[in-house]
Each structure stands twice: as structure tokens, then as C-alpha cells.
Amino acid sequence: MNLQVNDSRTVARGGGFFQEMLSLLKVNVREYGMYIALFVIMLIFSILTDGLFMSSRNISNLLDATGYIAVLAVGMTLVIVIRHIDLSVGYAAGFMGAIAAILLSQFGLPVYLTIPIILLIGIIAGLINGFLVASVGIPAFVATLAGMLIFRGALLRVTEKTGTINVRDDWFNAIGNGYVPAITQVGGLSLSALVIGAVAIFLYILSEIRNRRNKIKYNFEVVSGSIFVLKLVFVSAIIAYITWILAGYNGISWTVVIMLLVVIAYHFLTNKTVLGRHIYAVGSNPEAAHLSGINVKKITYVVFGSMGMLSALSGILFTSRLQSASPTAGTLFELDAIAAAYVGGVSAAGGVGKVTGSIIGAIVMASLSSGMNLLGVGISYQYMIRGGVLALAVIFDVMTRKKRG
């Protein structure tokens, strides 16, 4: 009896280390594929730019420029998981960023009041989309397309008198341009960044060990000890390397901190809560989820409300980064977020996708743009290459689903 339990606790233990690795890669090809793609992209651009791509300044700027899209991609992942789409998020972010600028500059509201107000407006906007989709029955594409046009017009309306609205609030602008105080320098590196990296590695290892123990406790399959240790070392090394790179410039920015907090919160929501399981159940089969007692309308409201809140947060990040709001803010944000979600592994069929993957997808797309800019590639070719990458990601999704089917 004990022998059977032990055998069920590991994956391909009898097949050897390399066979187990190949088995894991084959089973988790969707999840691991994007990490491999990111590594290859960074390696190629680093070689072609003589290491400039992986410089502290470039990586720091790349992550900061990714922040507002990554936040949108997290929300978009959940929307696509439940088999819907939200085209309004781009101009919604631009409009709410403009409202934040107006509240700060023209009404003199402090940051600690402005941000909650903007987030609340975002939630209300998302719930309206949820109402149109879940209760009225309008297809999400049409409902959110209408929302996109409305927010586009609203953005033009609030900015038509002054055009660009400058924000001079230092606390607000620090959200998009500031960094966690360095405390002191250690060998030219920010001590606070090194501490944050060390804490992140510790928490990651602790979380993985707890998850493994819980799976073993309830007789779930787990990888062998050697693969588990290799995974811990590999991921920890990546975290340490990125931390070292960022510590060599200005440290970790507040944008990166906010992005990580969003990912952690939504990763916990989707993997550790009943609500998260219900979201994926609705995405996998809405009819079956309804018959099993899940309130599909409620889940739709929650997901779209969440998307609205993240749109507002994205608008705040973008406005604070530029220190202004303009009539063109939010242009194509929704397409970048959708692309990041698909490149990150979300399935067009619904029910599959991780928020961590959407962040990697956003970084992949941002890395492509950054690398091509450093190489002097024309903007026309950049759009075509990014479009090709998106098409390949969807083709890969379709092919893997056919193989499993």
C-alpha cells in the first residue's frame, strides 16, 4: 500500500532524470514555451546589441514601460478565460488617467483621495460592461466596442479645452517614475533592491515547499526531488539575476512593485480561492458550471468589474509615467493587452490561462519592441513582426489543443 502511494506521488520516477524532464516539458509545453521564448528573445537581442539590451538601464526602462500593459493583461486574461473580450480597456485607461489628472491639477485633490476615486470609477465602468454582457445578453465584443467609443469620446471631451493636462503632483508622478529608496549602496548596488530580491526568493521557496508538502499529504502527483530542487535553483537564480540588474541602476521602481503586487494578488485569487476555481469552471464549460450551481452571471460581473479596476490602475500608471494626460492616451492599449494574454498562454477556447503567463507575455512583447528599437528596426517592420509573434502564439494554442483532443 505504501509503495503504491509513493509511486503515485512522483512523475515518471522510474524513467530517469532526463526522461522526466522531457515528460514535464511535453505535458506543460504551453506554460514552459513562453519562458523559453522569452529567454531566446533576450539572448538574441543581447548578442545583437553587444549586451546593451541586458544593461541595467534598458531592463529597468523595459519593465517600467511594460507596467501599465501588464496590469491590463492580467485582467484581460480572466476575461478571455471566461470566453469574453473587452475592447474598452484602452480608452477607459486613457479617460480615467485624464480624470485623475483633472482631480489633481484642477480640483487640487490629494493623491490618497484621487486614486481610490479613480479605481471606484473603473469598477463601476467594468460592472456596466458586465451588466450588458451577463444580464442584457449583448455579446462582449459589441458591448465593449461601444464602451471603447464612449470612452474615446469622453477622453476627447475632457481634454479638448486644454489638450495635454500636465500633472505636477510629485507623489503621483513618483508612481510611474520613482524608485524604492536605496537606503544605501553596496558595491554600487541598491541595498533595498537586493533585500527585496532576497525576500522574494525566500517567499518563493517557502511557498513551493508548502505546496509540495500539501500535495504529498493528499497523495497528489509531484515531481521528483531532483527536479524540484532544480526548479527552485533555476527560478531563484532568475530572480537574483533580475534583482542584480535592477539594483545596478536605480533599484526597483514603484511601477514594478505595483505590477508584482497585482500578479501576486490575482495569482492567489485564481489558484487558492473558490472564486478562482469558479472562474475557470465557467470558462471551461459555462453550461456545466451553471448546472453545478455556479452563478455564471455573478462570475461575469466580478471579472468585468475587476477588468474595469485594472483599467483604472493602468491609466494611473500611464499618466503618472508621462506626468500628463493627453487626447491620445490609451490608443491600442487593449490590443497590446490581448496580445500579451495570448502570447502568455491563455486559450482562445476559454478555461485555460494564468496571470503569471500574461505578465511574461507582456514582457515578451515589450522585449521585442525594445530590442528592435535598439537595432534601429523600422516601426513598420516592428508591427509586422509583433503581429507574426501573436499569430504564432495562437497557432501554437490551436495545435496543442488538437493534439490533446
Residue keyed to cell 530542487 = 229
For position 7, what pLDDT does the model report? 38
Query: What pLDDT is recorded for position 402?
Result: 64
The pLDDT score that the predictor gives to residue 36 is: 80
Query: Which residue(s) pair with 189 in the sheet?
Result: 186
What b/e string do you get for 340-370 counting C-beta neighbours within 10 Å, with b at 16 or more? Answer: bbbbbbbbeebbbbbbbbbbbbbbbbbbbbb
Domain boundaries, the chain: 50-178+253-396, 180-252
| Residue 37 contacts residue 364 (beta carbons within 8 Å) | yes
- Predicted local distance difference test score (pLDDT) of residue 228: 85
In order along the chain (405 residues), what is the average pLDDT of each group of 10 residues? 39 58 65 78 92 92 93 96 96 97 94 97 97 96 97 94 90 94 84 92 91 86 82 89 91 94 94 94 93 95 97 97 94 93 86 89 92 93 89 77 61
Q: What pLDDT score was predicted for residue 3?
A: 36
Could you write out the DSSP letters of every residue in 24-83? HHHHTHHHHHHHHHHHHHHHHHHHHTTTSTTSHHHHHHHHHHHHHHHHHHHHHHHHHHTT
pTM beyond 0.85: yes
Query: Residue 140: which residues within 8 A CB-CB, separation 6 or more?
Result: 79, 84, 85, 86, 129, 133
Residue 60 confidence (pLDDT): 92
Listing DSSP states for 207-274 in one string gives HHHHHHHHHHHTT--B--HHHHHHHHHHHHHHHHHHHHHHHTTT--BHHHHHHHHHHHHHHHHHHHSH
pLDDT at 339: 92
At 392 the pLDDT is: 83
Under CATH, which number does the domain 50-178+253-396 receive?
1.10.3470
